[in-house]
Chain A
Amino acid sequence: MEYFLQNLINALQWGSFYAVISIGYSMVYGVLMLFNFAHGDIFMTGTYIGFGIATLLLALCGTVMPGWVIFLLTVLITMFLTAWLGVLVEVVGYRPLRHAPRASAAITGLMIGIILETSNLIILGTKRLSFPALIESTTWHVGGVYLTNVKVLIIAVSLMLMLGLHTFIQKSRWGMAMRAMSYEFHAVPLMGISVNVLAPLTFAIGAGLASVAGILYGQAYPVLDPHMGVLLGWKAFVAAILGGRGSIMGAALAGYLLGAIEIFTAMVFPSTFRDLIAYSIILVILTFRPRGFFGMAHSTQLRL
């Protein structure tokens, strides 16, 4: 039982990364009806930006400020910068292809991802960088389960982000525009909502969220790798589909589910079976529920 609870905590932590990243995929799909294949690499770049900001802040005022202030500042500045990266990707890569076939946009996304990865390798080289620990780790022993404050922080911040996003989507006017867009792609621009404003906004929010996931990831697994975006990003993409295309809540839930599947398979089977079993389960779920958990059925012809 304690073993199970321990793994549940781990699954929640691991799932938080997937959940926060997959929301970015899902939002872009909701608004533009295409997958932003560069999102995984935006996450990677966000992590590196966070690494840069955190190192800079630690060097400049590490003695003056407590760790959590630096953490907060890092999160805010990184979110801001990575959001602009998202806007850049939209304007450069996706806007010229607004009326092109969707597959072309997917290719562009893939290629932007490769460019981001390669530029990272060119600028920083292949040496493994290690994310500075901003928060001193303490371990609590609660009822036989080991909890670290980093784990609690990761889970809490992710939940807060998702709650904030949910409020934004449900309550604000821009959120309403996004919902309308995912409901009816062709009519909404006629109602005076500019796609050219809404799309960068969506990309910015997705990229900002991904960068926070990156900072949190850096706190839990400090070794950075230029290919981390590929590893986590594609799985988060699968989670976004599993949750239902364009459904933010579904993406978050599926992210947690994917995390749980991975952690619990590693509990029962050798850890090399993790991917095999996780993807087999996803395949089975998608076979019987093609639109995912919360997705609307797209029986109509897509804009191919």
Chain B
Amino acid sequence: MHLLRKLLNLFSPIPLSGWLLGAFAAVLLEYYLGDAISYYLYLPKIPVLFGTLVVLKSPQLIPGVIGYDLLIYILPILLVARLSAPLTNRIAALLEKLPTWAATLLHLAAFYGILHLWAGISDYRVLVVKLILISIILTLSLNIINGWQGEFSCSHPGFMALGAYTSSFLTLRLFSGSHALLSPALGPWLFPLILIAGGAAAALGSLIVAIPSFRTRGDYLAVISLAFMFMVKSAIENMEFLGGPRGLSSQPDYSSLPVIFAWTSLCIWMVHNFTTSIMGKALNAVRDNEAAASSMTVNTRKTKMTAFMFGAFWAGVAGGLFAHVLRYINPGSFGIQNLAEMLAMVYFGGLNSIAGSILGAVSISVLSEALKPLELFKWIIIPLMLILIMIYRPHGLIAFTELNVRKLMRARKRGGADNNPRGTT
């Protein structure tokens, strides 16, 4: 205990930028020395996901993997972050003088650089990072409805399918094939518009659910949205121009890592703005007591509809990105299984919290990637974990709390004492 406190004290004066610098050093080290180190540790190649995949497949590699993680990630991060703390603290103090958005953008850019270098090692990493970022958007958008709005919606795979099919249809018609309507060179530039169109299609589709179900409250929405999900799936299966049950394939490769990262950041920012706006507060009021909110001049119907459409929009955008990552979609990819995964992410991470959504999306995706060698047992371990979380923390791991970005980024003084208890400068 005493040792732990000492360790914490040792590392507490490191600001966020210090940790980023440390991570950057680790990633650089892996980029240049990863192959050599993994060779000397008898690893077949650079472990992709911190070695979690290799460990479950062939346990004799465990010491090598531990050594690799220690040498490449843990030691460099801790050392560089600690040693550069005086410097990074000064940088953080400089950044504090900037407006919050500028400082956040700088941090995000640094983070993206690290992510890009890290993912650049192998194609598998790129795919995993892309899918994780997309699931962050999905989790956030579902959390708006299930967390901030306090309903139980099951229609997200349907919205995702609407977005995915709309955007794939548009890109396939406009930019690909021999009879493309527009020049393919325009494609990546118009891709945001196409994604927005996909999101708009999902938002329009959400009206089918929203109009009948927001006259009453409670679990009524669960059923309507479930019916909607099955309807969308069945409708797409019957549309020949969308490929029917075979699906659409060979979408152009527009969802590159920077594009997805930008959309995810945008989504986080917009959800943050939405939930801290008057509308977001009204939404929480409606969730907690609709009658009271209504008597306090909240237009409950409008609030609920807006939030629902907002959530559906982002699900549609995520669907569009998803379709252009895998470059193959069929109606079967948007079913109950998908819904269960999304719900697991939302309820694992925490309701009503952006940080919680990110945590849930990242941990469930990483877990399901890491447990892949266990094949079917994966689908026993993850549900069991979720049941335990539901029993001990019914709202999820970090529900109803938010990280203060300003506080996170500010400079820290030695000893870990909170030099600015109010979190303002």
Contacts and interface: CB of A to CB of B under 8 A. Distances in A.
Contact of A299 (B152, B216, B238, B383): B216
B326 interface: no
A279 B347 contact: no
B421 interface: no
Contacts of B215: 290
Contact of A234 (B208, B226, B380): B226
Contacts of B340: 110-111, 114
Contacts of A114: 340, 379, 383
B247 to A, nearest CB: 15
Interface in B251-297: 287, 289-290
A66 B2 CA distance: 75
A237 B336 CA distance: 14
Interface residues of B, number: 45
A118 B379 contact: yes
Interface residues of A, number: 48
A276 B387 contact: no
Nearest to B379: A118
* Most chain A CB inside 10 Å of its own CB: which residue of B224, B343, B394: B394
Given A275-B230, A290-B215, A96 B208 contact: no
A230 interface: yes
Looking at chain A's contact residues, the main secondary structure is helix
Contacts of B287: 304
Interface in A220-245: 230, 234, 237-238, 241, 245
Interface in B2-24: none
A101 interface: yes
Interface string A262-289: 0000000010111110011011001100
B386 A107 contact: yes
Contacts of A117: 379
B223 A237 contact: yes
Nearest to A125: B376
Nearest to A277: B234
Contacts of B290: 301
A160 interface: no
Nearest to A110: B340
B386 A97 contact: no
Interface string A113-128: 0110111011000000
A179 interface: no
B390 A100 contact: yes
A266 to B, nearest CB: 13
Considering the complex of A and B, which 5 residue pairs feature the smallest CB-CB distances, nearest first? A111-B383, A100-B394, A287-B212, A275-B234, A276-B234
Given A104-B347, A280-B231, A290-B216, 9 more contacts: A97-B390, A105-B390, A107-B344, A107-B347, A118-B383, A119-B380, A245-B219, A301-B290, A302-B219
Interface of A: 35, 93, 96-97, 100-108, 110-112, 114-115, 117-119, 121-122, 230, 234, 237-238, 241, 245, 270, 272-276, 279-280, 282-283, 286-287, 290-291, 298-299, 301-302, 304
